[in-house]
Structure 1
């Protein structure tokens, strides 16, 4: 359909009415700027996605790896040097750099990393509209150590000389925010190692690093490619003295499968221990439950005789369980 319009000079103008989709495509093809790069997908379509704001289109720089964002993840990554560094994008509107920002710039200068002053809008795009605190660092992905029996054996030998080793096994944790929060607690409470299977877990990406406040960059982490490999390894190491305890929700304790679960404060760690944390929604699978030597739970203080909150966020529960375990296993 064509509508005829009259301009101020009395000339007839023709306006073709296009379908909505065609108008959108024309806008993208002719108005939005062309860029040579596509942003990494790890910051998009995830739980807790940052808020988007309507802003003018900006040219986005070409990215070589993935983008760490936030002061703590960037600072810790630069200090531990587990990654390859390409370029730092620093918010240009920060006239007087704070001490953390100055420290980042100093580290970049020492390592020969290019510092690129950038507009806040560009940093918002690079971070997926997440809180970047004025810094984004283009880096290679974090390489995770492959879990092998040597790590179990070394930790077991050290237990005779020092405090008992406490490991965390994350079973199918899929929310990157939870994954990061757990890693933060693991670092703060002194977990010796975090292990998991990459088969059904969230990847260790910049979203996890930011939610861990950078702890992902420094916590000892090992993984297997498949869950089957992890299961077989756990079975072997249980014969060599390791104890595997599984965490279950208080709401599950009354069922037949979990009737042996005890409050975490009643559990005493007497040897090298692995605490297994289950998926956010479904918890531990039957396969993993059968591997456990003990089941532990967090008993609520509130009475169950009235409506109440019957569970904890998985990262909060992990912190409580770890704190109790560390007191139990390391009285000295």
Structure 2
């Protein structure tokens, strides 16, 4: 009886010892065979079986499941800094955010091992002028701060971007400012992918859209991913938003009475459900009045309520009608760029 208790205690002790120090599977098997000959205890047999299983799973990943300890790796221990706002990442978003001063800046994290280029020097100089603390930081920490997205060696802790509230006066002021040519506004309706949102804002800035409007109720938030995908254009494009969709719809209805024209974009898959005669190709549309171009959701497009607000419906015709039915539409950011370019050409014929 004493011998039975002794072997059970010894088995538990050695199991813990072998698990802690990660002995290889061969050593554990040898220990198992010796102890099994010494005792026929079922509990001991079960504990050794569990020991094999857990010891195999505890092998380092870089050893590819082979027995043994494998090469030891010393991993850097680091503590992530405390963030006061949100992390902007990438050279262009950081430079334009610092330039426009629409945010509060807390701290700049600059990769300490990167070769400093002219943009990096520009960022450091601007931070010194504005009194922003510059912290040399390891790349691993920057990867964590940016969510493993391409940060180009720079991350900026800043407050969120505040968007102007859309008001009726903005419509009137836009008509006065753009007296020589009709203003062009872009309404983004329920765009939910931040990458699409950012790419659209980049096209808006490049093509000279006067203002981007949207409702914050069902749209992607203006976060650092949007800023990065816009190459920083989010910081400088004039934008206004409403809290609720109903407010946006009310303002559109009001301004239609004051001379604004609303055109909606539809895809080829939506034309069949609409009156074909009411949809015109974008290259046949001429921009003569203050105009709002509506761009719908990536999947469902514009709802019936929004379509009823439109004075005209436009579409982009493909080059051929015999193209593959699986590729029957364009990405929303690509389509928006084409529509805006066509409208700009019609507004400023060369």
**TM-score relative to the length of structure 1:** 0.83
Moved >4 Å (runs of 4+)? 305-308
Q: 2-side partners of 1:291 and 1:117: how far apart? A: 53
TM-score normalised according to structure 2 size: 0.79
Aligned residues: 292
3-state DSSP of counterpart to 1:276 = strand
1:68 aligns with 2:88: yes
1:97 aligns with 2:121: no
Matches within 5 A, 1:1-332: 3=12, 5=14, 58-94=78-114, 96-159=115-178, 161-256=179-274, 259-304=277-322, 307=325, 309-331=327-349
Residue 162 of structure 1: how far off its partner (Å): 1.9
CA gap 1:105/1:309 in 2 versus in 1, 3 angstroms:
same
Deviations along 1:179-199, one digit per CA (max 9) or x if unpaired, are 000000000000000000000
Change (3 A) 1:303 1:119: same
Secondary structure of 1:58's partner?
coil
Q: 1:116 to 1:252 in 2, by over 3 A?
A: same
Give 1 or 2 for the bigger CA radius of gyration: 2
Is residue 252–residue 258 contact of structure 1 (8 Å, CA) maintained in 2?
no
* Equivalent-residue separation in structure 1 for 2:77 and 2:253 (angstroms): 55
| Change beyond 3 A, Cα 1:208–1:237 | same
Q: Which runs of 5+ in 2 are unaligned?
A: 1-10, 19-30, 36-46, 52-74
Indicate the SS of the match to 2:160: coil
Q: Deviations over 1:215-246 (max 9, x none)?
A: 00000000000000000000000000000000
Structure (1 or 2) with the greater helix fraction: 2
Q: In 2, distance between residues paired with 1:306 and 1:137?
A: 45
1:63-115 Cα distance to aligned partner (Å, 9 max, x none): 00001000000000001111000000000002x41000000000001111100
SS in 2 for 1:251: helix
Unaligned runs of 5+ in 1: 19-54
SS in 2 for 1:164: coil
Q: Look up the SS of the partner of 1:117 in the other structure.
A: strand
Give SS of 2:314's match.
strand
Q: Deviation of residue 166 (structure 1)?
A: 0.5
SS at match of 2:161: coil
Match of 2:344, SS? helix
CA RMSD of aligned residues (A): 2.5
| Farther-moved stretch of structure 1 (173-182 vs 243-252) | 243-252
Residue 58 of structure 1: CA displacement? Answer: 2.9
Change (3 A) 1:77 1:258: farther
